[in-house]
Structure 1
Amino acid sequence: MPLGSLDRTPPPFFRQGPSALTRLVFFASVAVFLMAADTRLGLGQPVRAIVAMALHPIEVVLLAPVRGAGTAGDYFGGIAQARMDVEAARAEARRQAERALPVEQLLHENAQLRGLLDLRERLALRSHAAEVLYEASDPYSRKVVIDKGEQAGLLQGSPVVDARGVLGQVTRLYALTAEVTLLVDRDAAIPVLNRRTQQRNVAYGAPASDGMELRFVAANADVRDGDELLTSGLDGVYPPSLPVARVISLERRTQNDFARIGLQPLAGADGVRHVLVIDPIGTQMPARPDVAASAASAATGRVNPRRPPSTPGVRP
């Protein structure tokens, strides 16, 4: 090195290479390239699979205490819950036994009273399960068609019910299908009984309001909003005590002798898929005495003594 000159370059041992900014730009570019290549070409998937396979035993070992603690907690919690369920079941069994004793006693007393009064046992209703196919296209009536008909044993006038109550009545029979007139139809009518007051009446369809109404009820009659109406069972068609409708509106007009009572049917046709068709109870009851006597007279060739023979050409 000549005298009078100053060399400011560091010795080769202390040289630092590229600058920090250059290294940042280079490695950032490499990272962006690898991310783009992994997204487009999936180059990193084999690497991740190998790393995950290598780390899986370590994960299992590290998670074993946590899983063991959770399993032990579930085990002891299940034992405690099972004990609580056993105690609850025993308490419910005791309550059911306490309720069953009076019921058995009442059934025994009921059987004794029926035997004493010589009453007939309650009718065993015959029923048929059916499915609603479609609603009739007549805009002036409310009817649906079901997939059971005369070949399935259905009878004309059979009541149709669903899980909520009376839906309607079979009004037309075909070989494989049947037409059911809903309670909200304008031509529908059903005898009802007020559950609270035990008063009988007839409910009619009101298609204008998509509901029903009670007609010819005195303005001062004991009827309240929310009263539930059941079938009375006196028409020989509907079994007794089936839910029909509920009172939703009551208007007592001073200028009229009758009240205007609106009803909401408990069974709606919208959304109903499966129904139950019940044979009319009149088909399971014994024949009336005059009908039975007429049938016996016709069978034996005798004339009914209650009715004199008619003379030809003269109306009896």
Structure 2
Amino acid sequence: MPLGTLDRTPPPFFKQGPSALSKLMFFSALALFLMVADLRFRITQPIRAAVATALYPVQWLALQPVRAVQHGSGYFTALSQARAGEESARQKLATQSLRASQVEQLAQENSRLRKLLGLREQPAITGVAAQVLYDAPDPYTRKVIIDKGMVQGIALGSPVLDESGVLGQVTRVHPLASEVTLVIDRELAIPVLNIRSGERSVAFGEPSAYGGGLELRFMGSNSDVQQGDLLTTSGVDGVYPPGLPVARVDRIERRAESAFARIYCTPQAQVNAALHVMVVTPVSDAAMQVPPAAPTAAPAGKGVRK
């Protein structure tokens, strides 16, 4: 008998284990269950923290050649560019020094007025300096990874600033690193205050607008918003300290068929080029550390009637 005519498949007696279709259905159901459980109960958060801690040395080693190239390219900067940068830095330093003296005077006046009226003192803003390591490997979100985590006292939900304004918010904390969601991410919203008009609103991330921006939603078409208005944090959410620059109004679209206007804003922070950041303690956590204001004394001549 020719060898090609022999049946090489094993008889059914020697087949063991479930079929391929049953395996596919089982593992699909298991994956779906794990995704739902992770979304509702965060069961994989300790595993993610352990994996992030174990991979941190590998990530650090992988970033060293990139940093070496970046530092090496700095040596080839022209002398004229270095002098121009020094002059610009001196001018900014002088301007910031003048503003700092004015802010200190206003802070003293604010403290005196609060003591006079018996109001509670504003909590002091504290923070931790950090450095951006790399962008998060997710094409559908706008996030970065910084080199500070729970070991350095980073709390979940802490605001993140750069030298120009609000950069984002900490949305995931690992022992040695943290994940920061940028203000242009569609999942982030910040209560803002229009400095010119004093009107409060909410700025939502809009990553598709000019490569990344923000949008003021649910604003009436007759709202008092103009191009160039500066938006700062309002401080009503208990997370962001008030008065931090967030964005500036760039474009306004008012349509007759819609009751709301489309207001696009440009972030003040360098969302695409931030390197050194400051992680600020949330206002609600800082307020818990402030002692309550002392009660005011009763006016003279008005004793308590027994």
For Structure 1 versus Structure 2, the TM-score category normalised by the shorter chain is 0.5 to 0.7
The match for 1:274 among 268, 276, 285 is 276
Whole-angstrom CA distance in 1 between matches of 2:227 and 2:188: 22
Which residue matches 2:245?
Answer: 243
Which residue matches 2:162?
Answer: 162
Structure 1 residue 206 displacement after superposition: 0.5
Which residue matches 1:262?
Answer: 264
Structure 1 counterpart SS, 2:114 = helix
* Number of matched pairs: 188
- Report if the CA contact (8 A) 2:136-2:144 is conserved: yes
Whole-angstrom CA distance in 2 between matches of 1:111 and 1:265: 31
- Change in 2 beyond 3 A, CA 1:226/1:110: closer
- Report if the CA contact (8 A) 2:128-2:280 is conserved: yes
Whole-angstrom CA distance in 2 between matches of 1:108 and 1:183: 32
2:227 maps to 1:228: no
With the length of structure 1 as denominator, give the TM-score of the two structures: 0.56
Structure 1 counterpart SS, 2:115 = helix
Which residue matches 1:119?
Answer: 119
Whole-angstrom CA distance in 2 between matches of 1:238 and 1:151: 22
Structure 1 residue 107 displacement after superposition: 6.7
With the length of structure 2 as denominator, give the TM-score of the two structures: 0.58
Whole-angstrom CA distance in 1 between matches of 2:156 and 2:108: 37
- Change in 2 beyond 3 A, CA 1:108/1:179: closer
Whole-angstrom CA distance in 2 between matches of 1:215 and 1:116: 39
Structure 1 residue 108 displacement after superposition: 6.5
Which residue matches 2:142?
Answer: 142
Instruction: State the 4+ residue runs in structure 1 displaced beyond 3 angstroms.
Output: 106-112
Structure 1 gap ranges (5+): 1-95, 288-316
Structure 1 residue 114 displacement after superposition: 2.1
Whole-angstrom CA distance in 1 between matches of 2:218 and 2:197: 17
- Report if the CA contact (8 A) 2:111-2:121 is conserved: no
- Change in 2 beyond 3 A, CA 1:114/1:143: same
**CA deviation map 1:233-254 (0-9, x unaligned):** 1100000000000100001100
- Change in 2 beyond 3 A, CA 1:227/1:151: same
Which residue matches 2:191?
Answer: 191
Residue identity over aligned pairs, in percent, reads 53
Whole-angstrom CA distance in 2 between matches of 1:108 and 1:151: 35
Whole-angstrom CA distance in 2 between matches of 1:108 and 1:150: 34
Structure 1 residue 266 displacement after superposition: 0.7
Whole-angstrom CA distance in 1 between matches of 2:178 and 2:119: 36
Which residue matches 2:173?
Answer: 173
**Bigger radius of gyration among the two:** 1
- Report if the CA contact (8 A) 2:158-2:170 is conserved: yes
Higher relative contact order, structure no. (Cα contacts within 8 Å, ≥ 6 residues apart): 2
Specify the code of the residue in structure 1 equivalent to 2:239.
V
Whole-angstrom CA distance in 1 between matches of 2:108 and 2:152: 38
- Change in 2 beyond 3 A, CA 1:110/1:204: closer
Structure 1 residue 137 displacement after superposition: 1.2
Whole-angstrom CA distance in 2 between matches of 1:111 and 1:182: 33
Structure 1 residue 125 displacement after superposition: 1.4
Whole-angstrom CA distance in 1 between matches of 2:113 and 2:130: 38
Structure 1 residue 117 displacement after superposition: 1.1
**CA deviation map 1:204-262 (0-9, x unaligned):** 01111111100000000000000010000110000000000010000110000000000
- Change in 2 beyond 3 A, CA 1:107/1:265: closer
- Change in 2 beyond 3 A, CA 1:223/1:280: same
Which residue matches 2:14?
Answer: none
Whole-angstrom CA distance in 1 between matches of 2:111 and 2:268: 33
Whole-angstrom CA distance in 1 between matches of 2:230 and 2:201: 12
Whole-angstrom CA distance in 1 between matches of 2:224 and 2:160: 29
